[in-house]
Structure 1
Amino acid sequence: MDHGTAVRAACLALAALSLAACTSRSGGNQAPDGAATTAPQPTEQAQPGADGVGDPYYPKDGNGGYDVTGYHVSISYNPANRNLDGNTVVTATATGPLDKYNLDLQGLKVSAVEVDGKAARFARAGEHELVITPPAPIADGAKFATRVRYAGVPQKAEKGTLGENGWQLSTSGGAFAAGEPHSATSWYPANDTPRDKATFKLDARVPNGWSVISNGRESPATRGSDGWTTFHWSEPNRIATYLTTVGIDKWTFERSTLPGGVPVVSAYAPGAEEKKRVESRLPEILEFLSSKFGPYPQSAAGGIYINENIGFSLETQGRPIYAAWAELEVVVHENAHQWYGDSVTVESWKDICLNECFASYAQWLWTEAKDGANLDDRFRQEVARSTDRFWSGKLYDMGPGNEFTSVYNKGPLALHALRRQIGDEAFNRVLREWATEHRDSNASWPEFEQFVQKIAGQDLSKFFAAWFHSDKQPADEFLYPGTLRK
């Protein structure tokens, strides 16, 4: 996610006030200052049937007792009355015996639930829990399919630090889904946690004249005799729910193929067609990022250019969503996430530096390679004009509501200091080997610290404590390592 230069100062001010945004499902406390944790911490495990997966920041997100293997979402959406009809099948494997279990779904009215083709009892609880009682208990290790039929006018999930999350209306009369940490469950039922990645398939039916963009690869649209057309998209790579999207508009499409055969589909909302000049550099951007992080890890590429001034652009998998203000470096940022965030996904939201610090530093690397920028000079300039407020945000375990603040500004400084601490050879190995080793999986920040120390052959516990665990400016020995020291 990138939220634009114009918004950063405001967001940092909010962070300094400990704004608890996006906390309609939140819980937990900000960890105290202390030394770096270099050993991986155990993942919180939710009990079978629990109404949350146990993330310390959003403990009611996700659900216990099963692992989703795939979503098949079928929707019909009428822009005239904003009504959505949905029929979603969630396939999963039980990780414990289940006599009941939950899915997350925000607002929409459920009319029927089936488990393996048989009617199941269901009830709503709280703001987003759909509690399902299968007709017979599900055994540990069993595969099962849950079909949910639902309808209504989708609602935004909540207002977060960077703006609205979830289902949003466009000025053209269409709609799109975007937001972090929540957006998916405003339009389909899901196990809404990044820990449970799954394949994703979408069949979206809209009136003729409208079209649909989503994740992954497209199949030919199906035109009905009733004045409606169904668009088909499929993401074979596992995907976290917040990285799924749908866009309904009168899109202008551009299609091409990357040199390695990856299909590229980019879509432009009415009024956003001039962004073709930015998107035309996507092959160059992906080639550059591949040189740093390894082969492109997604099944497809492209971009979704909305004509809306929302507060963020978002790395929706394989096909980021760009706000109207987005320019070239934002495209670099969101595509860096295809490795750092989408392929390698956070274990918990306190690990978000693994996404945003790296995508933000990718922008630095781009200016270094393409514009000849001296990153040591840039680092010193930013440190020179920094304030106590700048340093007050942690980069690891920053507290719920503070995830999307310091990672964009302090984050790239921290990674540049790490680069100078361990040297270019080791740093380049870290960038590439971390993304390769953890491809299509989840990972935590403590695991990353351990990984870096192994490659660098250094005890970096004090360095990590100073830069990533502290809310103070690092001491000079950590602030100016290597060539940063004059």
Structure 2
Amino acid sequence: MVRTGWGAGCGLLSASVVLVLVSAAPVAAQPSANPLIGAPSAGDPYYPADGNGGYTVGHYRIRIDYDPASRWLAGQARLDATATQPLAGFSLDYSGPDVSAVAVNDLPAGFTRSGDHKLIVTPALPLLPGLPFSIRVDYAGVPGSDPDSGWMFSPSGGAFVAGEPHGAASWYPVNDTPTDKATFDLVASVPPQWEVAGNGIRVSDSTDDARRTVEWVSRHPSASYLNTVAIDRFEFLNQRGDDGTPLESAFAPAAAGRRDLEQRLPEVLDFLESLYGPYPFESGGGIYVDTDLPFSLETQTRPIYAPWADLHTVVHENTHQWWGDWMSLRQWSDVCLNECFASYTADYLWPERKEGEDVDAHYRAAVATHRDDDRFWQIPLQNPGAEREFSSVYYRGPLFLHALRHLLGDDTFFPAMTAFVRSHGDANASMPEFRSYLQTRTTTDLSGFLSAWLDSETRPDDRYLYPGGLGSAA
């Protein structure tokens, strides 16, 4: 994700960084009191109401019918899951329109809604651990529109979904935790003059006098917040990467002028492959909306771009296809794995290698600007704290990685980063894992350096700020 104001170079030279200093102690998730009921939380301390226990989901197939004129959304979600314990009941995350029916293994199931986003399901027959089962949920109504998370309406009357860490639950029932990644199919029906963009590959697109029906299929598992649908009067741009990967991009009516920017996507992906290895997914592209958004988002295979997005935003969001999408975080405290790398790649590596900039000078200027600014260093990267996770990772994170690069040297740093992300493809990783891994790549004791950069709430000592001669002017 890139938020307004966090764009290219923001981690380097911004003199007025706005920091969110909300203090929020982690809340431990509580297991279900009944051993036959799945836990109502996945246990993430930052979002203890998110996710659910007792099962894992392998695949989602979502069918929606959307009418832009009335904003009416009718949907049917099918989840293919596996029980991890005996289940007489379980919950899903869902904040969307009214639910009319739920079935488990094609038998009608009891259901009720609880709190802001829980759908409690009672199957007709208990579920046994280790066995697969299916869930079907029918729902319909006008979705709520949240400018920060989930279903949003476009000026044209269309709609799209973007939100981190939430978004999925606004339009389909889901186990809303990044640790339960699943493949995802979308079948969307809209009026014939409208178009639909989604994740993965568009495998069918048919129109009759009444409706257009489009199917998108994602072959790689994704974290739920990375799934999207976008409905608008899109124009499309079809390209291919150097390896033949199809790149399909969509432009909302007032975003048609961004085609020149998106035509650089093959160049961007070629650059990223030189850093992190082959592109990990079956397709790529982008969705350019014309809705006023405070962020762009790395929705899997096809990022959502706000009207203010620029080339460095495209680099940032596509870096996430490796760091954040293919390799996902375990808990939201691990968000540096997503944002530190995307920001460093867009703000340092692209300017250095594609634009000839002296990024060592940028680094020294940024440190000099914020050297005595206590607030700049206050939020740690290792565990920023709930409601602060999307802050220091954008401006302090790139500095950390540049210092680490100088400490290790390019011959160690770049192969190590590539090997780490590729060893966690289609899976999850954590910051503690990353720290342990780094130490295996060098005989230098990294404990002091990593503690100063990742754990401390103060500026690192000069020996950690300027390793490997980084403090010397060229």
For normalisation by structure 1, the TM-score amounts to: 0.92
Q: What is the alpha-carbon distance in structure 1 between the residues aligned to residue 208 and residue 88 of structure 2? A: 41
After superposition, residues 467-482 of structure 1 pair within 5 angstroms as: 467-482=453-468
* Equivalent in 159, 166, 176 of residue 175 of structure 1: 159
The residue identity in structure 2 corresponding to 1:13 is: V
Extract unaligned runs of 5+ from structure 1: 21-26, 31-42, 158-162
Structure 1 equivalent of residue 381 of structure 2 = 395
1:28 aligns with 26
Match of 1:265 among 241, 248, 272: 248
**2:291 partner letter:** E
Change (3 A) 1:327 1:399: same
Query: After the TM superposition, which of the residue ranges 325-334 and 369-378 deviates more from structure 2?
Result: 369-378
Matches within 5 A, 1:341-380: 341-363=324-346, 364-380=348-364
SS in 2 for 1:274: helix
1:39 maps to which residue?
none
Distance 1:438 1:459, change over 3 A: same
The counterpart of 1:67, out of the listed 56, 60, 69, is: 56
**Partner of residue 206 from structure 1, selected from 181, 190, 200:** 190
The unaligned stretches of length 5 or more in structure 2 are none
Q: 1:187-206 alignment to 2 at 5 Å?
A: 187-206=171-190
Provide the identity percentage.
47
Stretches of 4+ aligned residues off by more than 3 angstroms: 6-12, 43-48
**1:152, distance to aligned residue in structure 2 (A):** 1.1
What residue in structure 1 maps to residue 437 of structure 2? 451
Deviation at 1:44, TM superposition (A): 10
- Provide the residue aligned with 2:169 in structure 1: 185
| Aligned twin of 1:314 | 297
Counterparts of 2:30 and 2:224, CA distance in 1: 19
Cα drift, residue 483 of structure 1: 2.2
Report whether the alignment pairs 1:293 with 2:250. Answer: no
CA contact (8 A) 1:29 1:399 kept: no
Q: Name the amino acid aligned to 2:297.
A: L
Q: 1:173 to 1:120 in 2, by over 3 A?
A: same
Deviations 1:36-75 (Å, cap 9, x if unpaired)? xxxxxxx998876011110010011010011100000000
Q: Which residue identity does 1:153 align to in structure 2?
A: V
Residue in 2 that maps onto 1:37: none
Work out whether 1:278 is the aligned partner of 2:258.
no
Task: Note if contact 1:376-1:483 (Cα within 8 Å) is conserved in structure 2.
Answer: no
What's 2:201 paired with? 217
The answer to whether the 8 Å contact 2:241/2:269 transfers is no
* Corresponding letter in the other structure for 2:68: P
327-336 or 460-469, which deviates more: 460-469
Structure 2 residue matching 1:64: 3-state secondary structure? coil
Q: In the alignment, is the contact (CA less than 8 A) between 1:107 and 1:127 conserved in 2?
A: no
Q: Secondary structure at the match of 2:253?
A: coil
Any idea what SS the aligned residue of 1:63 has? Answer: coil
Q: Deviations over 1:239-271 (max 9, x none)?
A: 000000010000001112223221110000001
Determine whether 1:242 maps to 2:231. Answer: no
Aligned residues: 461
- Cα distance, 1:388 vs structure 2: 1.6
Describe how 1:25-174 pairs up with structure 2 within 5 A.
28=26, 49-156=38-145, 164-174=148-158
* Distance in 2 (alpha carbons) for counterparts of 1:366 and 1:14: 26
Contact 2:19 2:375 in 1 (8 A): no
Read off the aligned partner of 1:342 and give its amino acid letter: D
With over 3 angstroms needed to count, the CA separation of the structure-2 counterparts of 1:471 and 1:44, relative to structure 1, is farther
- Contact 1:12/1:406 (<8 A) preserved: no
1:408, CA displacement in angstroms? 0.7
Cα shift at 1:177: 0.4
Tell me the residue number matched to 1:38. none
The corresponding residue for 2:449 is: 463
Taking the aligned partners of 1:385 and 1:45, their CA distance within structure 2 comes to: 47
| Preserved CA contact (<8 Å) 2:96 2:172 | no
Tell me which moved more, 333-342 or 93-102: 93-102
Partner of 1:5: 5
Q: Deviations over 1:12-38 (max 9, x none)?
A: 4341x3277xxxxxx7269xxxxxxxx
Aligned 8 A contact 2:242 2:270 in 1: no
